[in-house]
Amino acid sequence: MAVTKTVSPERINFAVGKGVTLLGENRVQEYLSKKDSYDSSAEVHFIGHLQTNKVKYIIDSVSMIQSVDSLKLAREIDRLAAKAGRIMDILIEINIGEEETKSGIDSGAMKELATEIQSLENLRLRGLMAIPPIGADESVFEEMHGLYEELKGMGGGLPRAAIDTLSMGMSGDYELAIKHGSNLVRIGSALFGARNYNI
């Protein structure tokens, strides 16, 4: 996935023209200002912290919301997906480093939230997302992989789910993430260079 925070639509479309097919958006406001300029062949996931009052702005144009970190948010996505006549793919975000500055649920709450999501008919749980702490050692990545396997192991207890995605790893740690089972890495600066906050 190419993470497009602060990157201009022109540069993003150049990347799409070179074969990038999946974009990751962090901020609702920025996404809304750019989305109509994007090459329509690219798929977009929302990967940033999402407030319930902002769901309505993205429900009809993203194919997955990776940052579901509460039942309240899941219910709002479900409600608006129903109004839009669609099933929204989601990931549960885990705060694997237990960092106060990051969103995501505690790892111990994963099973409960996954089970509660099963009552929401317009959501399809696809897996987990995490942002390991900068410089985290392998044990953190391995713990995240273990949670993913645990989720897959819930099997029949998650009849609406299709668990196939572990979104973990960014420009600085994607190799370690892949080593420990990530099948979706979110790459920004390694593709586009240092962020330009003045666009």
Other CB atoms within 10 A of residue 103 CB: 16
Closest by CA to 65, choosing from 102, 120, 28, 30, is 28
pLDDT in tens, 15-50: 999 999 999 999 999 999 999 999 999 999 999 999
Closest by CA to 78, choosing from 92, 91, 59, is 59
Task: Identify how many contiguous H helices and E strands the chain contains and give both numbers.
Answer: 8, 7
DSSP helix/strand/coil, 163: coil
Strand pairing partners for 23?
2, 44
pLDDT in tens, 158-172: 888 999 999 999 998
Instruction: Output the CA–CA distances (angstroms, integers) from residue 195 to 7, 62, 122, in the order listed.
Output: 7, 23, 35
CATH architecture of 2-192: Alpha-Beta Barrel (3.20)
Rounded mean pLDDT of the chain?
93
Other CB atoms within 10 A of residue 165 CB: 21
What is the pLDDT at residue 160?
85
Angle between helices 71-84 and 110-117 (to 10 degrees): 20
φ, ψ for residue 111, nearest 5 deg: -60, -40
* Model confidence, pTM: 0.94
What is the pLDDT at residue 103?
87
Per-domain boundaries in the chain: 2-192
Distance CA 27, CA 32 (A): 9
CB 115 within 8 A of CB 123: no
Distance CA 166, CA 144 (A): 9
CB 168 within 8 A of CB 1: no
Q: Average the pLDDT over 106-111 and give the result.
A: 94
Chain-centroid distance, C-alpha 35: 17
What is the pLDDT at residue 45?
98
The two three-digit tokens of residue 38, written as one number: 């994007």
Distance CA 138, CA 182 (A): 13
